[in-house]
Chains A and B, each alone.
Chain A
């Protein structure tokens, strides 16, 4: 089809590139207003929090790679006769409900939690971005249809949506990746669509259209590079949501299935130790919290410094 014949913008509006571009491009794509030195102190403190976040995230990523290698005991080994033991030299984080070493279980479980969530987040963000671009670039009716469908999907709470899919198909690691990704595609779609729609109204895109560029070229070369930063921040948030959703499902016994265990399953298995205040319940839960808080701190900090410009304090 002819891109110029698209309804919202007539060629006459699009052609004359004479007027200087308004400040709009900056609002979407580039760093916000410069900051005065008064905020240098605050900024350092914020960066400091961001550093903690970065260290936490990096730490868990490394553990996800090398976890099974550095685990002191094989994951499924019944190493102690003592169940729900407390902290000791041989079992730094105590033992679980069958006398297994909790530290080893957590180190090995990292791979499931981080791996599945990462795969699902990549999938959700990529699919969301593609659909969003599609909706912004393609003819109007495509946008209408996609928006309606994703609006409907958004109105099913993500946990409930995941439960429906698991009720229908059962649970498994591949399915978990797909389910958790599926639950968060609508959110990614909304954000990427609104970014892309804003970008589409800018003059350089109009010029590209008037030049007769193909839709695919406009989407790939003109629009996508300018929305990649906000989408990366959004990717981090999706990752946090997916970790929480996955842990929640595992906690309900509907996520990662035994004999494998992610952090959510570890909490579920050992919930019996709660009455004794056993570290077997607390430690996996704290692992989840440290990962998600770490990612959040990192993104919050990046967002303040980077593209979003939430505004400096008065």
Chain B
């Protein structure tokens, strides 16, 4: 029984790894199809043909694409992402300097958004069809449809410009106390939460309602269990799998939302590094950042998958 679960975990892990390799192939294909030439681009129009040829050789661009791909893959699995084109620093070092900031932002957002979203989703499902449910439905529907930069702009307008409670930009170097921490992270986290909470709450509501309409819940109600007991003892344990999936899916949305939020608040995270790399067309850095993003996403999905399997013995049979 235990070994079965272990085997299952190993299988899922292998599948995630395979997907990651496929992702790397896709990313490499897109970036290697680059019209024009990375060497030409790096040296500019005025470069002599000899210099371009030399740089092409130095970058390994004169080898066939498949060879380059496998070299890149092997280097990357050893932690060597290559060198950034714009400032000649190792990509790994650049990513390592930004990654912790992004992780802190993601962790704080998760801490705030998950309990909030679950509470809203479960409440809406319990009082389905009531005024509360309808109001929450319209609110979450609107929040999902609003672009992050509108939320961020309005937040800045209210809290930084009008009320002057919070700084409009995030300067991490000035964090000295817990108070500073709250003040700096409040707006980025609030903006990210706005969209994620709405999405997560909607999907949680659907998952709980799905369980509420099953026959074992009807049985529990007929037995005379109170609504609270039905939800806590009967529905939630069965909804853990779907809810874990919902959480993972929504948190993966964080990877997209964070691109906008880090740019607006000038937050020194991985996503703003990526946006800068795209603006400068610094391809090794783009490749490195994207692979980190995708690996993180796959890890989340894997964890959710395992939660679902561990919480529902029936899924282990497959």
Q: Considering the complex, which residues of chain B in the window 228-264 have a beta carbon less than 8 Å from any beta carbon of chain A?
A: 252-253, 255-256, 259-260, 263
A52 → chain B closest CB, angstroms = 10
Bitwise, B1-18 to A at CB < 8 A (1) or not (0) is: 000000000000000001
Interface residues on B, range: 35 or more
B129: contacting residue among A164, A251, A285, A314, CB under 8 A? A314
Which chain B residue shows the least CB distance to A312?
Answer: B129
Chain B: residues with CB nearer than 8 A to chain A? 18-20, 22-23, 26-27, 30-31, 33-35, 128-129, 133-134, 137-138, 141-142, 144-150, 153-154, 156-157, 161-162, 206, 209, 213, 252-253, 255-256, 259-260, 263, 274-275, 277-279, 281-283, 286, 290, 293-294, 297-298, 301
User: A42 vs B130: C-alpha distance in the bound complex, in angstroms?
Assistant: 10
Among A19-27, A64-72, A151-159, A211-219, the one that faces the other chain is A151-159
Q: Considering the complex, which residues of chain A in the window 128-160 have a beta carbon less than 8 Å from any beta carbon of chain B?
A: 148-149, 151-153, 155-160
Note all chain A residues with C-beta closer than 8 A to B277.
167
B294 and A155 within 8 A (CB): yes
B161 and A274 within 8 A (CB): yes
Between A and B, 27 residue pairs with Cβ closer than 8 Å are A152-B19, A152-B22, A155-B298, A155-B301, A156-B23, A157-B294, A159-B256, A159-B260, A168-B31, A248-B259, A251-B149, A254-B279, A274-B153, A275-B161, A285-B150, A285-B153, A288-B147, A288-B150, A289-B150, A292-B146, A293-B142, A293-B145, A296-B145, A300-B137, A311-B213, A313-B129, A314-B128
A163 and B259 within 8 A (CB): yes
User: A289 vs B252: C-alpha distance in the bound complex, in angstroms?
Assistant: 22
With A167-B283, A267-B149 known to touch, is A297 a contact of B141 (CB < 8 Å)? yes
A244: contacting residue among B27, B147, B283, CB under 8 A? B147
User: A282 vs B153: C-alpha distance in the bound complex, in angstroms?
Assistant: 8
Note all chain A residues with C-beta closer than 8 A to B23.
152, 155-156
A240 contacts chain B at the CB level, 8 A cutoff: yes
Which chain A residue shows the least CB distance to B212?
Answer: A314
Q: When A and B form their complex, which 8 residue pairs have the shortest distance between CB atoms, in order from nearest?
A: A313-B129, A152-B22, A292-B145, A159-B256, A285-B150, A167-B278, A157-B255, A157-B256
User: A300 vs B206: C-alpha distance in the bound complex, in angstroms?
Assistant: 14
Note all chain B residues with C-beta closer than 8 A to A295.
145
Note all chain A residues with C-beta closer than 8 A to B283.
167-168
A229 → chain B closest CB, angstroms = 19
Note all chain A residues with C-beta closer than 8 A to B20.
155
A203 → chain B closest CB, angstroms = 26
Note all chain A residues with C-beta closer than 8 A to B27.
156, 164
Note all chain B residues with C-beta closer than 8 A to A285.
147, 149-150, 153
User: A244 vs B148: C-alpha distance in the bound complex, in angstroms?
Assistant: 9
A151 and B19 within 8 A (CB): yes
A248: contacting residue among B148, B293, B301, CB under 8 A? B148
B218 → chain A closest CB, angstroms = 11
A313 → chain B closest CB, angstroms = 3
A277 contacts chain B at the CB level, 8 A cutoff: yes
A253 → chain B closest CB, angstroms = 7
A9 contacts chain B at the CB level, 8 A cutoff: no
B252 and A157 within 8 A (CB): yes
Note all chain B residues with C-beta closer than 8 A to A156.
23, 26-27, 290, 293-294, 297
B35 and A169 within 8 A (CB): yes
User: A174 vs B128: C-alpha distance in the bound complex, in angstroms?
Assistant: 45
Note all chain A residues with C-beta closer than 8 A to B209.
311
Note all chain A residues with C-beta closer than 8 A to B206.
310
User: A164 vs B279: C-alpha distance in the bound complex, in angstroms?
Assistant: 11
B263 and A252 within 8 A (CB): yes
A49 contacts chain B at the CB level, 8 A cutoff: yes
B286: contacting residue among A164, A247, A251, A271, CB under 8 A? A164
Which chain A residue shows the least CB distance to B291?
Answer: A156
User: A311 vs B212: C-alpha distance in the bound complex, in angstroms?
Assistant: 11
Bitwise, A253-272 to B at CB < 8 A (1) or not (0) is: 11000000000100100010
B307 → chain A closest CB, angstroms = 18
